[in-house]
Amino acid sequence: MKGRTLLMIPGPVESEPEVMAALADPATSHVAPAFIEIFGRALERLRTVFSCPDGQPFVVAGSGTLAMDLLAANLTEPGTRALVVNTGYFGDRFGDMLARYGAEVTHLRAPVGGAPTPAEVDAALSLRRYNLLTITHVDTSTGVRADVQGIAAIARRHDVLCLVDGVCSVGGEALDMAAWGVDAALTASQKALAVPPGLALAVAGPRALAAFSARKTPVASYYSDWSLWLPVMQAYEARKPAYFGTPAVNLVHALEVSLAQIVAEGMAARVTRHRRLSDALKGGIGALGLNQVPLRPELAATTLTAVYYPDGVNASFLPKVAAAGVILAGGLHKEIRDRYFRIGHMGTVRPADILATLGALETGLAAAGYRFDHGASVSAAQAALVG
Ligand SMILES: *Cc1c(COP(=O)(O)O)cnc(C)c1O
């Protein structure tokens, strides 16, 4: 079938047909009763997906970077002290953004492929007083997953707000905002929630909302200002019309459909599926003799896999994999950009996608002249999947 490919990058990802169908709805008013009901349900389901029963969800048209802005702009004032627990590209971005709003930013970094430990965060927070810290749950540039649960507990002990960039984790990795003491978290529609790009999603817990209320200065971003969005989100959840900026009506419907599927699967089952498929894929990668960017297996995310090219192979092999039907992503982290590639496996991913990806990967590697035992990765993954 000409033109049919499998998109296996760390966002945008493939969506279910029911989700795509929602995008083709006839035009609707953003204050039509049927749309108000859809928006209200989407907000309620976000509470479940983020596991934050007493949190305030925000759904705003924009990409994941706007979702970061929805936290940064509202929780930062000139002089705010922020610790960025940095595991790559998106930690740098969060730091830049907080600084733009006047924060004094300190980065706690790890070598590429590593992650600061809760003990290192504890030491940093003991050294001086901070108002907030940020963690990238899964840094999409390294495939590293940070210990959000451990770090959030440390943040709480130091009475520091804990903000989580979950763009590459929410809906794929375990995240329990309420139980772990995460004060605010964010994601975007096009990653593990399996909706096309275009929606910024955030949930603010009670302590984040209290910090917002205690601000002494106005929010420096107009579009991100919670005081403009809060009445809108509250109205839709109360099934009442409201307006500040026109919602992306079709995308909100697609989100509502996907969230219903996610809640029906169950968060625990979804996390288990991602873990199982990730283990199978990573086993296949190992069987080809390829090394991954995360320094230790327990640091590796289950939503994507970051792999170093073997000797003699470079980014020019990715079009060969694409010619075999599977789209993969190149590198992003500035220190290693040309030395690795990335495979996204989040959202709707299923066993057949993993096997197809490894098959296409082998085809690309063979075309690039890399020598390996043909079928080894598919065989290892299949053994893991049926085992
Ligand atoms: C993709 C991503 C972002 C940015 O999202 P955009 O939709 O590209 O703006 C931020 N953080 C992480 C961890 C991401 O994976």
Beta bridge partners of 316: none
Residue 63 alpha carbon, nearest atom of ligand 1:
7
What percentage of the chain reaches a pLDDT higher than 70?
99
- Whether the pLDDT of residue 366 is over 80: the answer is yes
Tokens 């733009």 correspond to 100
Q: Average pLDDT of 50-70? A: 98
- Rounded Cα gap, residues 41 and 121, in angstroms: 37
Pocket of ligand 1, beta carbon within 6 A? 11, 63-65, 90, 136, 139-140, 165, 167-168, 188
Cα–Cα distance list, 88 to 113, 148, 292, 332, 337 (Å): 8, 15, 15, 9, 12
Q: Average pLDDT of 195-217? A: 98
Structure tokens at 124: 């940093």
**Among protein residues, the one whose CA lies closest to atom 6 of ligand 1:** 64
Q: What is the pLDDT of residues 289-311, one digit of tens each?
A: 999 999 999 999 999 999 999 99
Domain boundaries, given as residue ranges, for the chain: 6-11+267-386, 17-265
- Whether the pLDDT of residue 114 is over 90: the answer is yes
- Rounded Cα gap, residues 144 and 26, in angstroms: 41
Whole-number average pLDDT of the chain:
97
- The CA 36 to ligand 1 mean position distance, Å, reads 28
- Rounded Cα gap, residues 77 and 103, in angstroms: 6
- Whether the pLDDT of residue 3 is over 80: the answer is no
- Whether the pLDDT of residue 191 is over 70: the answer is yes
In this structure, whether the domain defined by 17-265 belongs to CATH 3.20.20.60 is answered with no
Predicted confidence at residue 2, as pLDDT, reads 65
pLDDT class of 1 with cuts at 50, 70, 90: low
- The CA 18 to ligand 1 mean position distance, Å, reads 24
- The CA 140 to ligand 1 mean position distance, Å, reads 8
Structure tokens at 332: 């992003």
Residue 138 alpha carbon, nearest atom of ligand 1:
13
Mutational test site, ligand 1, from 164, 165, 175, max ligand atoms within 8 Å of CB = 165
**Among protein residues, the one whose CA lies closest to atom 8 of ligand 1:** 64
Q: At the top level of CATH, which class does the domain 6-11+267-386 belong to?
A: alpha beta
- Rounded Cα gap, residues 52 and 122, in angstroms: 25
Beta bridge partners of 292: 307
Whether omega for the bond prior to residue 26 falls within 30 degrees of 0, making it cis, is no
- Rounded Cα gap, residues 201 and 183, in angstroms: 15
Q: Average pLDDT of 186-211? A: 98
Predicted confidence at residue 387, as pLDDT, reads 82
- The CA 168 to ligand 1 mean position distance, Å, reads 7
- The CA 380 to ligand 1 mean position distance, Å, reads 31
The conformation of residue 290, written as its DSSP 8-state character, comes to P
Predicted confidence at residue 183, as pLDDT, reads 98
Q: What is the pLDDT of residues 5-37, one digit of tens each?
A: 999 999 999 999 999 999 999 999 999 999 999
Predicted confidence at residue 380, as pLDDT, reads 98
Residue 188 alpha carbon, nearest atom of ligand 1:
7
Q: Which amino acid is at 79?
A: G
Q: What 3-state class would DSSP assign to 23?
A: helix
What percentage of the chain reaches a pLDDT higher than 90?
99
Provide the greatest CA pair distance for the chain: 64
